[in-house]
Amino acid sequence: MGSPKSIKSTWPLSNKSDWKLSQQIIHVLDAYPIKPGKEVPVHPKTDKLPYFSQWQGHVWIMLHALAPITIHQSLLSVTHEQSLHPVIVFLLYFVTFSWTVVRQVKASQKLGHEFGFLDGDVHERDGIPDIGVDKVVASLYKTTGSRIFMATHISYKVSQSPISVMSDPYWWAMLWLQIGLYGVILDFWFYVYHRAMHDIDFLWKYHRTHHLTKHPNTLLSAFADHEQEFFDMVGIPFMTWATFQVFGIPLGFYEWWICHQYIAFTEVLGHSGLRVYGMPPSTFSWILSLVGAELVIEDHDLHHRKGYRKSHNYGKQTRVWDRLFGTCHERIEATKENINWNESVYFPIF
C-alpha cells in the first residue's frame, strides 16, 4: 500500500487485470489527463505561448449547457406535460454535467499532447495518484451531483419550463450580467475561504491533500479532503447564490445551471496546466483585462507549484481579490510579451 502523501502514478501502465473499478472507468472513458505512454512536447519557458480565444470558450460552454435544457424542453413537448418531476430534472442535469466534465478532460488531453504543459522543461505533469484513483473518480460525481442536487432543491420551479423563461429577451440580458457577476462573487467567497485554509494553522490540514500535487492535472481539480470538498462543491456555490438573493438579482434554475457550467469549465481549465494563454470565459472578461484582474491558466498552476503553506494567487475564477489584497504572483511563461497572437488554439468541441 502506498503512502497517503504520495502523488506517484504508476497504475496506468500496470497489468489491467489488477485494476480496480475506478481505474477501469477512467480507461473506458479515456479520461486520462495525459495518454499513458504518449509523448508530450516540451518547451523552454522562452518559447511563445499560443492563445485560447474567449469566444471559443463561450461557444463550448453554451453548447454543452444548452444540451440538457433542449432535452428538458423536448420531453415536455413530446409528452405534453407542463413540467418534469424534480427527480427527473436532477438525473438529466447530473448526467449531462458529468458528461460535460469528462468531455473537457478529453479535450484538454488532446491539447496537452499538441501544445505541452507549463514548466514542462523542468517537471512532467503529475498523474492520477496510485493511492487516490477512487477519490478522483468519486470527486467527479460528488461535484456534479451535489451542485445539481442543491440547484434542483432550492431553485427549480415546476411551473417554469425552459421555454417559458428563455423566450423573454430580458432573461438573456440578465443572464449576460449574471454570468459575469457570478464568477466575481463566487471568487470573493472562494478567496476568503481559500486564503483562510492557508493562513489559519488548524485549517491547513483540511487543504493539504489538494496541495500534494505541484503540477496538477484536470482530474485533480477536486482532489481534496472531505472538509474542502464540502466547501468547494456546495458551500461556496450556495453562498454565491445567497448573495445574489440578498442583492435582489435572484438566480433561477436555468441561469444557475449555466453559471455552474462556466465555473466548472474554469475549475478544470485552471488545473490543466496547458501551455496556452487562456482566460476563463466570462461576460466581464474585457473589464477584468482592463484593470489587470484577468486570470490565466498559469496563475492557479503557480499557486500549486510555487506555494504551499503560504501562497498567492488564491482566486480561481479571477484575479480581482488577489489584486485588491496584494497576493498576485508574477507570471513566468504567460507574460504578455511571450504570447504568440498569430497562433490560436482550437478547443475541440467534437
Q: Which one-letter amino acid corresponds to residue 252?
A: G
Over residues 51-76, mean pLDDT:
97
Strands (E), 227-270: none
List the beta bridge partners of residue 277.
51
Phi first, then psi: give them for residue 200, nearest 5 degrees. -100, 120
Position 63 confidence tier, pLDDT thresholds 50, 70, 90: very high
Q: Which one-letter amino acid corresponds to residue 334?
A: A
Q: Which one-letter amino acid corresponds to residue 297?
A: I
| Long-range contacts, stretch 33-39, CB < 8 angstroms, 24+ apart | 33/105, 33/108, 33/109, 33/112, 33/125, 33/127, 33/128, 33/217, 33/218, 33/219, 33/220, 33/272, 34/109, 34/112, 34/113, 34/125, 34/127, 34/217, 35/109, 35/113, 36/12, 37/13, 38/113, 39/113
Phi first, then psi: give them for residue 129, nearest 5 degrees. -55, 140
Distance from the Cα of residue 31 to its chain's centroid: 15
Over residues 171-193, mean pLDDT:
98
Q: Which one-letter amino acid corresponds to residue 46?
A: T
Over residues 213-241, mean pLDDT:
94
Over residues 304-333, mean pLDDT:
93
- Give pLDDT, residue 308: 74
- Give pLDDT, residue 255: 98
Judge contact between 221 and 37, C-beta under 8 A.
no
Q: Is the backbone of residue 157 left (phi > 0), alpha (psi -120 to 50) or beta?
A: beta
pLDDT in tens, 99-108: 999 999 999 9
pLDDT in tens, 149-170: 999 999 999 999 999 999 999 9
Please provide the DSSP assignment of 57-103 as one string: HHHHHHHHHHHHHHHHHHHHHHHT-S---HHHHHHHHHHHHHHHHHH
Angstrom distances, CA of residue 121 to CA of 42, 111, 116, 190: 6, 17, 10, 31
Q: Is the pLDDT of residue 222 over 90?
A: no
- Give pLDDT, residue 5: 67
Burial letters 32-41, b for 16+ CB under 10 A, else e: bbbeeeeebe
pLDDT in tens, 117-137: 999 999 999 999 999 999 999
Position 301 confidence tier, pLDDT thresholds 50, 70, 90: very high
Q: Which one-letter amino acid corresponds to residue 211?
A: H
Short-list 334, 264, 345, 342, CA closest to 294 = 334
Over residues 312-324, mean pLDDT:
97
Position 198 confidence tier, pLDDT thresholds 50, 70, 90: very high
- Give pLDDT, residue 320: 98
SS3 content of the chain, % helix, strand, coil (to 5): 60, 5, 35
Judge contact between 305 and 215, C-beta under 8 A.
yes
Over residues 67-81, mean pLDDT:
96
Share of the chain above pLDDT 90, in %: 91
- Give pLDDT, residue 72: 98
Q: What is the mean pLDDT of the chain?
A: 95
pLDDT in tens, 328-342: 999 999 999 999 999
Helix 169-199, helix 236-246: angle, nearest 10: 130
Position 350 confidence tier, pLDDT thresholds 50, 70, 90: confident
- Give pLDDT, residue 19: 96
Angstrom distances, CA of residue 345 to CA of 76, 111, 112: 38, 8, 11
- Give pLDDT, residue 6: 76
| Residues 6+ positions from 55 with CB-CB distance below 8 Å | none
- Give pLDDT, residue 285: 96
Position 267 confidence tier, pLDDT thresholds 50, 70, 90: very high
DSSP state of 117: B
How far is residue 178's CA from residue 89's CA, in Å, rounded to a whole number? 22
Position 7 confidence tier, pLDDT thresholds 50, 70, 90: confident
Short-list 345, 350, 143, CA closest to 264 = 143
C-alpha atoms less than 13 angstroms from C-alpha of 191 in its C-beta half-sphere = 21
Share of the chain above pLDDT 70, in %: 98
Over residues 238-263, mean pLDDT:
98
C-alpha atoms less than 13 angstroms from C-alpha of 202 in its C-beta half-sphere = 0
Short-list 146, 305, 323, CA closest to 232 = 146
- Give pLDDT, residue 4: 60
Q: Hey, what's the cell of 235? A: 458551500
- Give pLDDT, residue 52: 93
